[in-house]
Structure 1
Amino acid sequence: MIKKIILAVVAAVLVMTVCIPFDALAVSYASRGEIPDRYKWNLRDIYPNKAAWERDLQTVEREARQFQSKYQGKLASSPQLLLQALNDYSNLMRKNDKAYVYAKLAFDVNMANDTLQQQLDQAEKVNVALAERTSWLVPEIVAIPESEMKKILGMNEFAQYKFFIEDLLRTKSHTLSKEMEQLLAKLSPVSETSENVYAMLSKDVTLPKIMDENGKEVQLNPANFIRFMESKNRTVRKAAFQAYYYTLDHFRDTFAQTLVGEVKANDFYANARHYPSALEASLTANNIPVKVYDQLIQTVNRNLPLLHRYLELKKRVLGVKELHMYDIYTPTEENENRHIPYDQAKEMVLAGLKPWGEEYLKVLAEGFQNGWIDVYSTPDKRTGAYQWGAYDTHPYVLLNYQGTRNDVSTIAHELGHAMQSYFTNKKQPYISSGYPIFTAEVASTLNETLLFKSMYANAKTKQEKMSLLSQYLEHFRTTLFRQTQFAEFEKLIHEKEAAGEPLTADSLKSLYLELNKKYYGNGTVSDAEIAMEWARIPHFYKGFYVYQYATSFAASTALARQMLTEGEPAVQRIRHSLLEAGNSAAPLDVLKAAGVDMSTSKPIEQAIQVFAETLDEWERLLNEK
């Protein structure tokens, strides 16, 4: 039950800053040793040294064997034995989580280090062995007779395990025999092969050098790609766009087989557990009705004309005859592409998140000061951004900070995850401390919205307002519309695989290009290179993950409005019902208690209405003399 809440960010551009030329202050490090300690996370807070980590790992191995021999085949003998087993299980998993997190975090910031790779391999082997030695647990629990289970769930001693057990019973029909569950546990490393190969392939693919705005030859890489796509120099961003996707296309068959392997694995597990589809298997596991996924795609598709209208306006503002895909990220204001020093970014985030109150800000400040965050990129560091940690650690945040406004928003986003982990772990017992992505992305995108609202409320000039509005519109494009496009692509490729249709590099490219044309409309040129964009999206290896960015953004738009209009009552309600809830209730129930009902399409429609209102305001300012 490793809580792999590696929450990659869909960053949005949400903030204003001083006008410092980007290249003047951009921070770049060739190796980890060059980075000052204050910009690196402190893993000594988890273990003081490797020896302490090894002792815990050995303890997990030993206690896993003891757990199996002590409890397997005996859980139905008495409620007291079941309770003892659940307590021991929680303690065992807590220790394993901590050991695994330590190894993974250490590796992610230095992926070329063979010793750290071996350390991670060791942790993963223990994790797999633990999964095998506990694979019988769920089948035994759900096999307890219904009359006996009803008595157990009514006992006060089982209060902390009540929802956990009820959630297991909810999917009882998809729980297999002990032997089959053990077999699937043994297969888990195989099912992760596609994701692992994709990660290594993405790291090993060398992108070409391009000429920057100053005519200097620079190395293109995944960390700086979006920065070049935001360049005001169209030649630079076109070169970056073509170089990136041309290189990916050179490896198209390998990327395709890697993605197809992931799809096949998802379909296999769905079939093994008697689900009608991989989509239903994924959503049911998180207690989300499939209609939530479908109504997102349907609602966004109905409102694509609004996205097309936005893109037409952007084309007008940029002054280009044709809007190409390499123009999409281009800021519309002259002062947008500026470097923001990290220490300034911290202050901007703290100011933007003031509505959360003093305690929230105090914990944020502690995180900034005490080794929670790994800030800068190096060639051997994992790309992107995420928040992770274990129940017995403080949260950890990985960044690859480049100094853009997107990066400032990324900080707010990932700290939204970190604060949810912090308050959940403080409030919930271990067994209900892991929260699903469906609610996690609400906490993170809520912070992004608060950051925007704060900056817009303090904007003093028309230029500032236009800049912020255009950034907020981009947030909608990248989070609500783009992630729904990804979700639709993911659904379609799984349906094609399940139907026996061949998935090849050419068919994936064709399908993705047609979707891109639909989402971006006739007014935007869907350049041929964009057909390979699916090879740049690691989230396709997380199994129907991306739709939650869109649904969460819709929910957080509503909750942010409640916080800013209702004040303290809404803050306390959202903190208690969302940040502290963990996995103590179904995700839709958690959000409903916080103030938004995601069982209907209403929040999606409301978010799109906010997009339309923002678009109207932006167009009004554009038309002002």
Structure 2
Amino acid sequence: MSKNTIPLRKDVPEKDKWDLSTLYKSDETWEAEFKTLPEYTEKLLKLKGKLAESSENLLSALKILAKFYEKIEMLDNYASLKHAADGGDSKAQNMEGRASMAYAEFSAKTSFLDPELMAIPEEKINAWIEQPEFRDYKIYIKKSLHFKPHTLSEAEEKILSLQSESARTASNAFSLLTNVDLQFGSIKVDGEEQPLTQSTYSVFMQNPDREIRKEAYKKFYKGFENHQNTIGALYGGSVSQDVFMARARNYDSTLAMRLYGDNVPKSVYMNLIETVHKNLPALHRFYALRKRVLGLKELRHYDVYVPLVKNVECKTSYEESVEICRKALSVLGEEYTNTLCDGLLNGWVDRYENKGKRSGAFSSGVYRGYPYIMLNYKDDNIRDVFTMAHEGGHSMHSWYSKNNNPILQYNYTIFEAEVASTFNEELVFEYLLKNAKTPEMKNYLLAMRANDILATLHRQTMFAEFELKAHELVENGTPLSADVLRKIYRELLELYFGPDMVFEEESDLEGLRIPHFYGAYYVYKYATGISASLALAKRVTHGGAKEKEDYFNFLKSGGSRYPIESLKLAGVDMSSPEPVQSALDSFEDLVNQLEKTL
């Protein structure tokens, strides 16, 4: 693919696309499966009011539920993956919407399940789940009962289920606006016009020509400025939806609601912010170093991603990246690396950007299909090697999880997921650093790793603090607007970036373009994840068979434990601020090395 041309979806070679046939061979097969969904609802409705009568009735209901979840997961993933690959594919969008509506309808009609389950006397339900036939459902029941204090009556649960589809309006509209409708124009580089998109923006921010960075920055944020009030209203609506749900379910706050399912104490979230605040001087030193190395009178927001070490060749083909992952992750054994690399080369991945494709990258694990990966891989952006390893970590976590757990307990939490992904990134960094052929390449990698930890730990903590402040405003009766959101975000920019940064008038628009904000209190898990992964990477690479076995037991545990407990199994205690402090110490060590060598 030419770097100056972004192809239409229909022109992308098949080898560069993911193979969705592990889900459905065709849209027609999908349609046939979709038509069977009402059968599961009908079967469950026949058991309404009867779950407490016998263990057989409850077991029958759970088997039907498991089968429905398996089918709806396949249906939704097939449609959503097609839509992610081409936002302009109206058929895929329709299919995704129908799958979502079908799930909402199922949830509404079967809303009696949780209240009935929780109405079963504790002594009776505890005896039932010890029976051998409940082996595949025991954890699911226990985790369901965990929500008993926040489960409403059948009628109330039905009402909440009925609005689940409309609750996604803000997120869906934001995605369509920013990925499909917004146009950013182009930038002239070496006499040729190159398109400015959500995906290419990061490449422009690494261009050594400061005027190109500035032009790309200004044009990019102009697109968001032109729609700031709409985006502000969308995010305000998303936060209001969170507040509504927290109050409807009798949580103390939106934060308490989001942490409750993972059984994560509020102290973990607050300790993260507090610990990062205490260590901001090292971050400010890094930005001061960047200003000196780049020889700038003023460090601007568009200067923070350009490589500190120049003239280092970083072009890496997709296939070369796969081999880097194979070698870097070899400590995990051949089963791990062979499975991952075969998947990366054969059907798991949608590799490159095409028109209408969602920006960024993600992994989407499916119980009865490949653990799919979406990339927008560019061979001139070395970070995309790390992105491949990152998403590969997610997918291998899904692979081990689904192969060691029944469907109702295979889904691990995002809190755990970000450990497996950033663990892989750390091993790739160590491999590339060890094999660096020149001092310049070594410095380049050190600087890049410092930036990556910064992006995952410091920046995501800043995002987490922004989310907390935005939600607290609405909880306390202050409506959100673009102006209010920009004010909160600018104050955080100034706090985190420190005295050496000079911001543009539009810099605080960054807070309006982060898609993760539409899944509230998600981003803090990146920060806790990298903190855990740095500790575990050291433990596995410097340890022996037991340490590696502990890590694989963590990958295999799926959703069988709450995340704090599963990470203790791996060898790290995230209920303590110690792993976060240790990760920040690692960042400061990188800064110290760079201050000496640069």
Q: TM-score, normalised by structure 1?
A: 0.93
Q: What's the counterpart of residue 494 of structure 1?
A: 471
Give the whole-Å Cα distance in 1 for the aligned partners of 2:393 and 2:83: 24
Residue 70 of structure 2 corresponds to residue 94 of structure 1: yes
Q: Tell me: CA distance 1:208–1:82, structure 2 relative to 1, closer, same or farther (3 Å).
A: closer
Give the whole-Å Cα distance in 2 for the aligned partners of 1:134 and 1:450: 45
Q: What's the counterpart of residue 549 of structure 1?
A: 526
Give the whole-Å Cα distance in 2 for the aligned partners of 1:383 and 1:134: 36
Give the letter for the 1:490 counterpart: E
| Aligned pairs for 1:329-340 within 5 A | 329-336=305-312, 338-340=314-316
Give the whole-Å Cα distance in 1 for the aligned partners of 2:509 and 2:28: 45
Q: Deviations over 1:179-225 (max 9, x none)?
A: 11111000001111110111111124433334333133332110100
1:422 positional shift: 0.6
Q: What's the counterpart of residue 184 of structure 1?
A: 160
Q: What's the counterpart of residue 458 of structure 1?
A: 435
Q: What's the counterpart of residue 369 of structure 1?
A: 345
Q: Please say which of residues 362-371 and 534-543 is displaced more in the overlay.
A: 362-371
Give the whole-Å Cα distance in 1 for the aligned partners of 2:476 and 2:286: 37
1:28 positional shift: 4.1
Contact 1:209–1:217 under 8 Å retained in 2: no
Q: What's the counterpart of residue 417 of structure 2?
A: 440
Contact 1:65–1:133 under 8 Å retained in 2: no
Q: What's the counterpart of residue 98 of structure 2?
A: 122
**Alignment root-mean-square deviation, CA:** 1.5
How many residue pairs end up in the alignment?
597
Q: What's the counterpart of residue 117 of structure 2?
A: 141
Q: Deviations over 1:276-327 (max 9, x none)?
A: 1011101102221111111100110111111001111111111111111100
Q: Deviations over 1:596-622 (max 9, x none)?
A: 000010000111111111211222222
Residue 255 of structure 2 corresponds to residue 270 of structure 1: no
Q: Secondary structure at the match of 1:570?
A: helix
Q: What's the counterpart of residue 42 of structure 2?
A: 65
Residue 16 of structure 2 corresponds to residue 76 of structure 1: no
1:134 positional shift: 2.4
Give the whole-Å Cα distance in 1 for the aligned partners of 2:330 and 2:450: 23
Give the whole-Å Cα distance in 1 for the aligned partners of 2:545 and 2:595: 34
1:82 positional shift: 0.9
Contact 1:409–1:448 under 8 Å retained in 2: yes
Q: Deviations over 1:82-117 (max 9, x none)?
A: 112112211121111111111111221122122222
Residue 108 of structure 2 corresponds to residue 132 of structure 1: yes
Give the whole-Å Cα distance in 2 for the aligned partners of 1:230 and 1:274: 47
**Alignment match of 1:223 (pick from 199, 214, 219):** 199
| Aligned pairs for 1:386-465 within 5 A | 386-403=362-379, 404-465=381-442
Q: What's the counterpart of residue 509 of structure 2?
A: 532
Q: What's the counterpart of residue 481 of structure 1?
A: 458
Q: What's the counterpart of residue 311 of structure 1?
A: 287
Q: What's the counterpart of residue 51 of structure 1?
A: 28
Give the letter for the 1:228 counterpart: F
Give the whole-Å Cα distance in 2 for the aligned partners of 1:528 and 1:304: 24
Give the letter for the 2:359 counterpart: T
Contact 2:40–2:68 under 8 Å retained in 1: yes
Give the whole-Å Cα distance in 1 for the aligned partners of 2:57 and 2:185: 63
Q: What's the counterpart of residue 467 of structure 1?
A: 444
Give the whole-Å Cα distance in 2 for the aligned partners of 1:140 and 1:447: 43
Give the letter for the 2:40 counterpart: E
Q: Please say which of residues 438-447 and 196-205 is displaced more in the overlay.
A: 196-205
Give the letter for the 1:365 counterpart: C
Structure 2: where are the runs of 5+ without partners?
none
Q: Please say which of residues 321-330 and 216-225 is displaced more in the overlay.
A: 216-225
Contact 2:83–2:96 under 8 Å retained in 1: yes
Give the whole-Å Cα distance in 1 for the aligned partners of 2:186 and 2:58: 62
Contact 2:361–2:376 under 8 Å retained in 1: yes
Contact 2:360–2:375 under 8 Å retained in 1: yes
Q: Tell me: CA distance 1:87–1:208, structure 2 relative to 1, closer, same or farther (3 Å).
A: closer
Contact 2:180–2:356 under 8 Å retained in 1: no
1:32 positional shift: 1.8
Contact 2:187–2:196 under 8 Å retained in 1: no
1:526 positional shift: 2.4
1:27 positional shift: 7.4
Give the whole-Å Cα distance in 1 for the aligned partners of 2:203 and 2:6: 17
Give the whole-Å Cα distance in 2 for the aligned partners of 1:246 and 1:370: 40
Contact 2:87–2:180 under 8 Å retained in 1: no
Contact 1:25–1:339 under 8 Å retained in 2: no
**Alignment match of 1:291 (pick from 261, 267, 285):** 267
Contact 1:462–1:621 under 8 Å retained in 2: no
**Alignment match of 2:258 (pick from 267, 279, 282):** 282
Give the whole-Å Cα distance in 1 for the aligned partners of 2:318 and 2:202: 18
Give the whole-Å Cα distance in 1 for the aligned partners of 2:266 and 2:425: 27
Give the whole-Å Cα distance in 2 for the aligned partners of 1:207 and 1:51: 34
Give the whole-Å Cα distance in 2 for the aligned partners of 1:474 and 1:600: 25
Contact 2:4–2:194 under 8 Å retained in 1: no
Q: Secondary structure at the match of 1:427?
A: coil
1:427 positional shift: 0.4
Structure 1: where are the runs of 5+ without partners?
1-23
Give the whole-Å Cα distance in 1 for the aligned partners of 2:337 and 2:401: 16
Displacement over 4 Å in runs of 4+: none
Contact 2:88–2:180 under 8 Å retained in 1: no
Contact 1:29–1:376 under 8 Å retained in 2: no
Q: Secondary structure at the match of 1:188?
A: coil
Q: What's the counterpart of residue 7 of structure 2?
A: 30
Q: Please say which of residues 433-442 and 348-357 is displaced more in the overlay.
A: 348-357
1:351 positional shift: 1.8
Q: What's the counterpart of residue 619 of structure 1?
A: 595
Q: What's the counterpart of residue 247 of structure 1?
A: 223
Give the whole-Å Cα distance in 2 for the aligned partners of 1:337 and 1:242: 28
1:153 positional shift: 3.0
Contact 2:262–2:413 under 8 Å retained in 1: yes
1:505 positional shift: 1.0
Give the letter for the 1:552 counterpart: G
Q: Secondary structure at the match of 2:156?
A: helix
Q: Deviations over 1:481-520 (max 9, x none)?
A: 0000000000000000010113111111111001100000
Give the letter for the 2:455 counterpart: T
Contact 1:466–1:618 under 8 Å retained in 2: yes
Give the whole-Å Cα distance in 2 for the aligned partners of 1:260 and 1:487: 16
Give the whole-Å Cα distance in 2 for the aligned partners of 1:153 and 1:386: 36
Q: Tell me: CA distance 1:424–1:194, structure 2 relative to 1, closer, same or farther (3 Å).
A: same
Q: Secondary structure at the match of 1:85?
A: helix
Q: What's the counterpart of residue 578 of structure 2?
A: 602
1:65 positional shift: 2.1
Give the whole-Å Cα distance in 2 for the aligned partners of 1:529 and 1:346: 38
Give the whole-Å Cα distance in 1 for the aligned partners of 2:304 and 2:212: 14
Contact 2:470–2:480 under 8 Å retained in 1: yes
Give the whole-Å Cα distance in 2 for the aligned partners of 1:512 and 1:354: 42
Q: Deviations over 1:137-186 (max 9, x none)?
A: 11111111112122123323223222222222222110011111111000
Contact 1:417–1:440 under 8 Å retained in 2: yes
Q: Secondary structure at the match of 2:316?
A: coil
Q: What's the counterpart of residue 328 of structure 1?
A: 304
Q: Which has the higher contact order (CA 8 A, sep 6+)?
A: 1
Residue 178 of structure 2 corresponds to residue 195 of structure 1: no
